[in-house]
Amino acid sequence: MPDIKDIVNELKQTRDEVKLKIHLGSKELQEEWDELEKKWDSFEAEAKLGESAQNISEATSLLGDELSKAFKKIRSAL
């Protein structure tokens, strides 16, 4: 299983790239982005808890996978 810091760093990089381009996207993508931002906040909070406990929950891992796929989907749509 990848280290939580690696997952967070990869997601942050993808998120930042998408955030820079999102203003060029459609309204539908903007709405999807807004929903992802809510999930990102939750993921980031859970990841920090997992980091301090040296343990990542399956829910956080699944949410990380979901965020990664969604960020990549939006990035490829831009």
pLDDT tens digits, 18-32: 888 877 777 778 888
What's the domain count of the chain? 1
Q: According to the model, what pLDDT value does residue 45 have? A: 83
Which tokens belong to 65?
Answer: 């996978």
Weakly modelled stretches of the chain, pLDDT under 70: 1-2, 49-57
Helical segments of the chain, H only: 4-21, 27-53, 58-77
Tell me what pLDDT residue 2 has.
Answer: 67
Q: What is the pTM of this model?
A: 0.54
d(CA 26, CA 3): 34
Q: Give dist(CA 19, CA 26) in Å, integer.
A: 13
Residue 17 burial (C-beta neighbours within 10 Å; 0-12, 13-18, 19+): middle
The residue segments making up the domain with residue 15 are 4-77
CA dihedral defined by 22, 28, 31, 35, rounded to 10 degrees?
-90
